[in-house]
Amino acid sequence: MTRQRLAILGATGSIGSSTLDVVARHPDRFELTTLSAHSQVDALVALCRRFRPARAVVSDPAAYAALRDGLADAGLDTEAHAGPEALEAAAEAADTDTVVAAIVGAAGMSSTLAAARAGKRILLANKESVVLAGDLLMREIRAHGARVLPVDSEHNAIFQCLPGDPAQRGGVRRVLLTASGGPFRGFTRAQLAGVTPEQACAHPNWSMGRKISVDSATLMNKGLEVIEAHWLFGLDRARIDVVVHPQSIVHSLVDYVDGSMLAQLGQPDMRTALAYGLAWPERIDSGVGTLDLAALGRLDFEAPDHATFPCLGLAYAALAAGGTAPAVLNAANEVAVSAFLQGRAGFLDIPALLQATLDALETHPADSLDATLAADAEARRVAGALLPRLAGQARPDTTYGTP
């Protein structure tokens, strides 16, 4: 068996760790060519000791010397590299077949685009790449013969439930993305006014990083997934719905015009989607246990509360506006979530800052990477300037965008 050669960009995060867990179960199937981190040198060197990749990359150039010395002290032949250009080079490398795009946030966009231009098989966990530059990314994928396998649990579920041939998808009425509702499902806006970062990061079902945990708590994560689904599956916003499913067992559904609805079910464990992406079109052991439906007893579904969690509606509005609006939304969200995690803003300030930033900036065509990056940078500047004036001013009875 020819081993699949993998680059895992974002190896020290939760997605990277889950990917490596699956890879370790199948040493005969996979060979690691690149592991990357932002600046967690000790963790990256420890992974290199175990998996012996050809190269290790830190995106923070200031961490290069520590990485180089750490690899040398460990007696490893792994090459040390640093900086965004090194990430792009790793994504394009001839010794790599598959790139796991697991860098969080806008920082992962350029390396994902590089993998697309190199015609790689891309296991896409970096939803921001699609939100910021969906049109550009999909054009590059088509132009260079790359293949995207989504490994977000929701998009992976839709991928599994859709016909493999896009020409056969005329019978699809809509897709339904499931949302757990996060730790604050059932809260009122008044209750949300005083929640803490620690509460927001305590997801009831999934083990995730702090930024994505806050996005789940605000439902912004689901909003970004709506935008992502639009580009990945070629669906307009009217055919992408969200349903709250607190057990996180049904990962998403596809509704067909004949009345059929197909769903993918599984434990709330990212290794299932990652194993599917790694081995597709085959299936391999992921280390995830089977479902005991009798023990579960029930599966619940409810409509999302747009009034209490307006970030979802703001994402629909940004998708409708098109152009650079999704990039502005994403950038403002990263600023807002960072401020919330640092204690510089409240939970309700997050949608307030998103709305204010969208209102402050005109929408332009997102027809190039430069245009997208310019919109991202301007949105961060504007959101940063607005934050001191907005922080603590959001009222529990304030309403924002509508879906």
Q: Is 188 annotated as a binding residue?
A: no
CA distance to 64, 89, 179, 226, 373, per residue, from 251 (Å): 39, 34, 8, 14, 32
Q: Is 19 annotated as a binding residue?
A: no
Q: Is 221 annotated as a binding residue?
A: yes
Say which residue the tokens 């990039």 belong to: 327
Count CA atoms within 13 Å of residue 136 on its CB side.
26
Nearest by Cα to 351 from 397, 399, 385? 399
Nearest by Cα to 111 from 88, 132, 89? 88
Entry field: residues in the chain:
403
For residue 86, give the H/E element and its range: helix 84-92
Q: Is 95 annotated as a binding residue?
A: no
Q: Is 14 annotated as a binding residue?
A: yes
Going along 3-124, which residue ranges are E strands? Answer: 4-9, 30-37, 55-58, 79-82, 98-101, 121-124
CA 348: distance to chain centroid? 22
CA 276: distance to chain centroid? 17
Q: Is 154 annotated as a binding residue?
A: yes
Q: Is 135 annotated as a binding residue?
A: no
Whether the CB-CB separation of 149 and 121 falls below 8 Å is answered with yes
Q: Is 203 annotated as a binding residue?
A: yes
Q: Is 152 annotated as a binding residue?
A: yes
- Compute, in degrees rounded to 10, the torsion defined by CA atoms 185, 191, 192, 196: -100
The backbone torsions φ and ψ at residue 392, rounded to the nearest 5 degrees and listed phi first, read: 85, 0
Q: Is 92 annotated as a binding residue?
A: no
Q: Is 211 annotated as a binding residue?
A: no
Q: Is 384 annotated as a binding residue?
A: no
Q: Is 126 annotated as a binding residue?
A: yes
Q: CA–CA separation, 164 vs 124, rounded Å?
A: 18
Annotated binding site: 12-15, 126-128, 152-154, 180, 203, 209, 216, 221-222, 225
Annotated binding site for Mn(2+): 152, 154, 225
Annotated binding site for 1-deoxy-D-xylulose 5-phosphate: 127, 153-154, 180, 203, 216, 221-222, 225
Annotated binding site for NADPH: 12-15, 126, 128, 209
